[in-house]
Amino acid sequence: MSLFTRFRQAQDQAPTTTADGPLPDGPLPDGHSEDDPTAAEGDGETAGGDDGAGPAADGAAADGGAEAAGGEAADGEAAERPRSLVRRIAAQVTTALAVLLVLFALTVGNRPEQFTPGTLARIPVEALLGLLLLLALRPGARRVAAVLGGVTLGLLGLLKLVDVGFYAVLARQFDPVLDWVLLDDAISFLTDSFGRAGAVGAAIVAVLLVVAVLVLMTLAVLRLTHLVTRHSVAATRTLVVLGAAWLACAVLGVQIVPGVPVAARNTAGLAHARAHQVRDGLRSQQEFTRQAAVDAFRDVPGDRLLTGLRGKDVLLVFVESYGRSAVEDPAIAPPVNAALDAGTRRLAAAGFGSRSAFLTSPTAGSGSWLAHSTFLSGLWIDNQQRYRNIVTTDRLTLTGAFRRADWRTVGIMPGVTRAWPEGELYDYQKVYDSRQLGYHGPKFSWATMPDQFVLAAFERYEHGTPERAPLMAGITLVSSHAPWTPLPQFVEWDDLGDGSVFAPMASQGEPKSALWGDRRKVRAEYGRSIAYSLNSLVSYVERYGDDDTVVVFLGDHQPSPVVTGTGASRDVPITIVAHDPAVLGRISRWGWQDGLKPGRQAPVWRMDAFRDRFLTAFGPRTAS
C-alpha cells in the first residue's frame, strides 16, 4: 500500500463534522473523549457508508443490506448503553469512596470519642497542600508524589487507629519507639481471653488490615491525582475557593460540630508531634538519669533503716487493677465498698487498725511493672525505656532497704511464668513464681491461680515456717486482671489443698465474648474481681496475722477506659494495716483516713513519693 493511499484512507476515516457542525479543535465536549465507545461506533458507521459500492448499490439488495446493518448497529448501541452507564456509575462511586477514604484519614482524630461523622464536616489543610503540590509537579514527579503521599497517609491513618486502641485500653497514645514490647502482652491477653486460635486469627486480621489500608490509601490518592490532572482548571479553582474558606474558618474559629473546628490540621499536628517524640524522649531520658543519680538513702547503713519496724513482718501487696474507680464509680463500687467496710470491721475486731489514701500511678490499663518499679524505687517510671534503664542500676528500692536492714526478703509472683532477670532490681533473696507455688488447679483466664491460693502458698512456704527471721514479702495478687471471667470463689482455707478444688469454677461464669459485648457487665465483673481479691487478703490477715504483722496494700493502676470511661484519674487506693498502734502512730502526720476505704477527700501523692516518705517515717526520725 502506497503512502498516498494510506493518507487518503486516514482522511476518509477522520470525521470532520458532527450533526451539529464541524468538530472543534482540542478536547472533545464534556461527556465524550477520544476513547469514548460511542465515538468509535460513529466512526464505524461512517466507514461502512464509504464501503465503495457507489451508485450501483442503489436498489433493493442495497436497501436490505443497509436496513440489516442499521438494525445491528441499533442493537449494539442498545446493549452498550447500559454497560456504559454501569461503568460511569461505578467510576463515580469509586471516586467518591476514594475522596471519603482520604478525607477520613485526614480529618478523624486519634481518640475513640473523635470517631464521629461530624469530623468529616471539615476542610483539612493537608488536602489543600497536597492538591497544590500535585498541580505544581510535572507528570512523572506527580505520580511518584502520589504514591509516597498515599503510603504516608496510610501510615498516619494506621497510627491513628493504634492510638485509638491505646486510648481505649491504656488511656494514652501509642509510643512508636517504646511500645513494641507490649505486642507480647497483647498476644498473651488475646490467647487467655479467646484461645490460641482467636489470638492467631486476630494477628492475621491485624496484618491484613495494615496491608489493606496502605494499598487502598495509595490507590485512592492515585485515582484523585488522575482526576486532578484531567480537570486541572477546575482543580485550581477548587483549591482557591477551599483555601479561602479554610483561612476564613481558621480566623473565625468556625465549628459545625461543637469542639471540632472546620479548619482542620490535626493530621499535620499528629505528624509533627510524632516527629518530635523521639527527641523529647531522649531529653526525658537524660533528665531521668540525673534524677536517678540523686538518692538520699543510697549510703544509709542498714542499722539506720526502718528502725520503726524492727521485728515486724511487712507485706507489700499489689492488687491488680485496683483503681480509684473501684471505690467511687457507682456502677462498680457497691461490692468493693462492701468488702472494704466489712473488712475494716473484721480487722478491727481482730485488733488491727488501718489508714488509707491515694497514690497517682504512672500508668493505666496495663503496665503493672511500671507502677511496681515506681513505688519501690522512688522514681517516676512511666515508659519502657525508663524501666529498662532502672533495672540495670543499683538503685536502692524499698525491698532492697529491708534486705539491707536484715529482713528476709521474698517475692510471691504468680504472674511470672518464665525467667525474670528484671527482678534483681528488687533484691529479693527468694522469688516464688507461678511454677514454684505448688498450684495444680486450672487457670482463670490471665490469672495463673486464685489470689487465695497465692496467700496460702506464702503462708505454707514462708510466713508459717518456725524459727524464721522477720519477713518482708512483695506479693502480687492477679485475680482482678482482665478479662475478669471466670472468677474463683472463696474456699475455706483448710480445703485449698493443691488448688484442684477450683477446677469446677474455671468452667463457670459468662463467656468472654458475651461479657465483652456488654460494657455494663464488664464493669460489674471487674468490681466483683476486686471484691474477691480484697476479701481474700482481709481473710488472710484475720486468720494468719499476729501482733507483728504489717500490711501495705495498694492498686498498681486503674483498669482500662472500657471500665472507667474516658477522663478517669490515674489514682489508686493505698492502705496500711497494723496490729501495733505504734506503727500507725509513725504516719499520723500523713493525714490518711481511718479504715480500709479512702474517701474522696483523702490525700493524693504521686506514687514515686512513697518510698522516701515511708523510709523517713520509719527511720530513726519520726518526722514525716
The span from the CA of 624 to the CA of 621, in Å, is: 8
Helices (H), 137-231: 139-170, 182-230
Q: What pLDDT is attached to residue 79? A: 60
- What pLDDT is attached to residue 43? 39
CB-based burial of residue 154 (10 Å sphere; 0-12 exposed, 13-18 middle, 19+ buried)? buried
Give the containing element (helix H, strand E) for 451.
helix 451-458
Q: Which of 6-15, 554-563, 578-587 has the lowest mean pLDDT?
A: 6-15
Q: For position 499, what pLDDT does the model report?
A: 96
Alpha helices in 231-265, H assignment, sequence order:
232-252
Question: HEC string of 334-357?
Answer: HHHHHHHHHHHHHHHHCCCEEEEE
Whose CA is closest to 450, among 441, 459, 438? 441
With the C-alpha atoms ordered 488, 493, 499, 501, is the resulting torsion angle positive or negative?
negative
522-to-170, 190, 194, 528, 565 alpha-carbon distances in Å = 16, 16, 15, 10, 12
Beta strands 260-261 and 255-257 are antiparallel
Residue 67 has pLDDT above 80, yes or no: no
User: Residue 554: exposed, middle, or buried by beta-carbon count in 10 A (0-12, 13-18, 19+)?
Assistant: buried
% of the chain exceeding 90 in pLDDT: 48
Cell of 548: 507483728
pLDDT band at 73 (very low <50, low <70, confident <90, very high): low
Is the per-residue pLDDT at 460 higher than 70?
A: yes
Q: Comparing 370 with 125, which gets the higher pLDDT?
A: 370
Query: What is the per-residue burial (b if ≥16 Cβ within 10 Å, else e) of 487-510?
Result: bbeebeeeebeebebbeebbeebb
The residue that leads in pLDDT, 516 or 14, is 516
Amino acid in the structure at residue 559: P
How many beta carbons lie within 10 A of that of residue 582, not counting itself?
9
For 84-126, give the secondary structure using H, E and C: HHHHHHHHHHHHHHHHHHHHHHHHCCCCHHHCCHHHHCCEEHH
Average pLDDT of span 263-285: 69
- 177, 160 Cβ separation under 8 angstroms: no
Mean pLDDT of 305-310: 96
* pLDDT at residue 75 in the model: 59
Band the pLDDT of 388: cuts 50, 70, 90.
Answer: confident
Instruction: State the chain's mean pLDDT as an integer.
Output: 83
Buried b / exposed e across 353-377, counting CB within 10 Å, b at 16+? Answer: bbbbbbbbbbbbbbbbbbbbbbbbb
- Cβ atoms of 444 and 487 within 8 Å: the answer is yes
Residue 13 has pLDDT above 50, yes or no: no
Average pLDDT over residues 306-314: 97
Give the closest residue to 269 by CA, choosing from 118, 100, 109, 103.
109
Highest mean pLDDT among 67-71, 98-102, 273-277, 478-482: 478-482
pLDDT over 90 at 414, yes or no: yes
* Residue reference for cell 490460641: 196
Asked whether 333 and 339 are in contact (CB, 8 A), the reply is no
**Mean pLDDT computed over 80-88:** 79
Distances from the Cα of 430 to the Cα of 65, 314, 413, 455, angstroms: 103, 15, 11, 16
Q: How confident is the model at residue 41 (pLDDT cuts 50, 70, 90)?
A: very low
Q: How far is CA 479 from CA 450, 501, 560, in A?
A: 6, 16, 16
* Secondary structure class of 447 (helix, strand, coil): strand
Q: Exposed (0-12), middle (13-18) or buried (19+): which is 475, by Cβ within 10 Å?
A: buried
Report the 10 Å Cβ neighbour count for 35.
8
For residue 35, what pLDDT band results from cuts at 50, 70 and 90? very low
Cβ burial of 410 (10 Å; 0-12, 13-18, 19+) is buried
| pLDDT tens per residue across span 210-269 | 999 999 999 999 999 988 888 889 889 988 998 898 888 888 888 877 777 888 776 766
Q: Which residue has the higher pLDDT, 54 or 525?
A: 525
pLDDT digits (tens, 9 = 90+) for 117-137: 777 778 888 888 888 888 888
Q: Give the pLDDT band of residue 192 (cuts 50, 70, 90).
A: low
Mean pLDDT throughout 419-443? 93
Provide the residue type at 150 as one letter. G
> Is residue 39 predicted with pLDDT exceeding 50?
no
Rounded average pLDDT over 596-617: 97
Q: What are phi and psi of 539, to 5 degrees?
A: -65, -35
Per DSSP, 594 falls in state E
The least confident of 3-12, 188-197, 198-207 is 3-12
Q: Are 124 and 106 in contact (CB under 8 A)?
A: yes
- Residue 421, pLDDT > 80, answer yes
Q: Does position 270 have pLDDT exceeding 50, yes or no?
A: yes
**Per-residue pLDDT reduced to its tens digit, 465-493:** 998 999 999 999 999 999 999 999 999 99
Residue type, 103: L
pLDDT of residue 56: 40
Strand partners, 473: 315, 410
Per-residue pLDDT, 51: 41
| pLDDT reported for residue 454 | 98
What SS3 state is found at 422? Answer: helix
Burial of residue 39 (number of CB atoms within 10 Å: 0-12, 13-18, 19+) = middle
Residue in the structure block whose three cell numbers are 485526614: 106
| Least confident among 187-201, 365-379, 491-505, 536-550 | 187-201
Give pLDDT tens digits for 329-351. 999 999 999 999 999 999 999 99
